[in-house]
Structure 1
């Protein structure tokens, strides 16, 4: 009697954020160059996964990631649009999974139908929200004036902010900028940009302690940036404040612009997070 080929159905157990088991990875030949640390995560939306019309929706989109030994703060909370360090649980223990946008692949539903998700991995609701926001951010990034971006790089302020925030990745969830009070002008060399920085943080279990830590970090970021900015014709730091996610109204958020630490994903340090083999 011939074996019956598993069929994809609307009752599929697969959901966004699920992890492929070792047998599925081997059968589909999905391997990171850091083979022993490979972690392949499903990123297709649940509605697309439930679609059993394989002519209309034949594939499941995944990212070939890897488990990393420590979280880089500049890759947490979706701060960088190209690389994400996503907290997950494996057999009850917290770990970080590194996902890189260039490591996306398509897998046929018919090929995945015979496998179950790896039950050892668990992604909670907050983590799933971070994953979804990060996936959409690549196509929904704010545009800053080219002159401003060049000055941020030239003065080293981008790296200063990233370096200061990196050890506090779990504390700060978003970094917002206001430039010239909300204007987006290409300024001549003789005119400085006025920059206000807003560090947004989740209040956590002890809101008062978290607020104190965030305020202290905001003061340190401002002082560090000002020390670096010897040429006041480039950028002037007007303020750097910390604000709780619970205290950031929609009206305020609308006039702020999300700054993503993209340069951190472009540096060459001999450890290429996008290195995979298939």
Structure 2
């Protein structure tokens, strides 16, 4: 039964037998896990007709891809579970693998997989990733078009991706501040005044994270000058500021003023890698 005393929580895994009974997998040897993504409060609520899960693949080497961990990518997530006997198990979740199970069927057939557990930090990551699906900002079309400008063999967005990729494990967000132009379609010749904050993990990353952020800042400044010229003469995007910022110094007021830039349109290493911290969510 899924009543108020249920032990089910968001992030829990179904056993292979339970997944098979619910038709989520075709055999006990399928190798995938069903991850419960319904909110803790929705699981026992009688007016919720379904329990939502995502079918996830086990990552063989049990290591998270830096660009797919900590809710950086809006479509894919590497989520680490702690094993009861030590070590970890990493699952890859994709929004495209979401399933809805009638709550009555779930209550009758689902059983919890108890050999792993989800830490508080990992559960925050899961929540942030789920929220990011619908909370991503939309930038003005004119601004997006100007970021698609080709400089050499690649456009600016692709070059931003290449700058970020080597440093992704230390970064938690790339935040764009367009000020009063945040929702404005600028006319030809009217530049967007842009400020960029490169947020890095100050606690876990330490000095190495700051060095990574500073490297990204230097390269972004060079890229924007190459693509659009110095701020005082730019007619498309004027990069007024670009600074490294420790995540411990970003306030709620800061997050309400800026928007996170997500590179979800780009293809790196054969798949999409994009974004960092979910829009409007403080660093965990």
TM-score range with shorter-chain normalisation?
Answer: 0.7 to 0.9
- Describe how 1:129-208 pairs up with structure 2 within 5 A: 129-155=124-150, 156-179=155-178, 183-205=182-204, 207-208=206-207
Cα distance per residue 1:112-160 (max 9 Å; x no partner): 3344321233221122112112212222222211111122233422222
Q: How many residues align?
A: 260
Q: Work out the CA distance in 2 between the residues paired with 1:216 and 1:272.
A: 23
Secondary structure of 2:114's aligned partner: coil
Is 1:108 the counterpart of 2:102 in the alignment?
yes
* Correspondence for 1:65 among 56, 61, 64: 56
> Does the C-alpha gap of structure 1 residues 217 and 90 become closer, same or farther in structure 2, counting only changes over 3 Å?
farther
TM-score, scaled to structure 2: 0.78
**Which string of whole-angstrom CA distances, capped at 9 and with x for unpartnered residues, describes residues 48-85 of structure 1?**
1123x3xx223210111222355444433323322223
Distance 1:163 1:206, change over 3 A: closer
2: CA distance between counterparts of 1:160 and 1:201?
20
Match of 2:44 in 1: 50
**Aligned equivalent of 1:239:** 241
Could you tell me which of 78, 82, 86 is aligned with 1:89? 82
Moved more, 106-115 or 133-142: 106-115
- The structure where helix makes up a greater share of residues is 1
Shift of 1:224: 4.3
Q: State the Cα distance separating 1:216 from its structure 2 match.
A: 2.7
Q: Which moved more, 1:84-93 or 1:102-111?
A: 84-93
Pick closer, same or farther for the CA change 1:20–1:164 going to 2, 3 Å: farther
- Residues of 2 paired with 1:249 and 1:179: CA distance? 18
- Mind listing any 5+ residue stretches in structure 2 that lack a counterpart? 274-284
Report the Cα distance in structure 2 between the residues aligned to 1:263 and 1:101, rounded to whole angstroms. 16
Question: Could you tell me how far 1:272 is from its partner in structure 2?
Answer: 9.2
- Unaligned segments of structure 1, at least 5 residues: 1-6, 274-278
Pair 1:9 & 2:24 matched:
no
1:117 pairs with 75, 89, 112, which one?
112
Cα deviation digits, residues 195-233 of structure 1 (max 9, x gap): 222121222246344323322333234334544557954
- 2:216 equivalent in structure 1: 217
The answer to whether the 8 Å contact 2:50/2:101 transfers is yes
Within 1, Cα distance between the matches of 2:242 and 2:25?
43
Question: Residues 168-201 of structure 1, C-alpha deviation per residue, up to 9 Å, x if partnerless?
Answer: 3331112210125654321223233232221212
Q: Which has the higher contact order (CA 8 A, sep 6+)?
A: 1
Q: Which residue does the alignment assign to 1:249?
A: 251
Distance in 2 (alpha carbons) for counterparts of 1:27 and 1:47: 25
1:3 is matched with which residue?
A: none
CA contact (8 A) 2:2 2:43 kept: no
Secondary structure of residue in 2 paired with 1:46: coil
Aligned-pair distance for 1:19? 1.3
Partner of 1:127: 122
Does the 8 Å contact 1:203/1:245 carry over to 2? Answer: yes
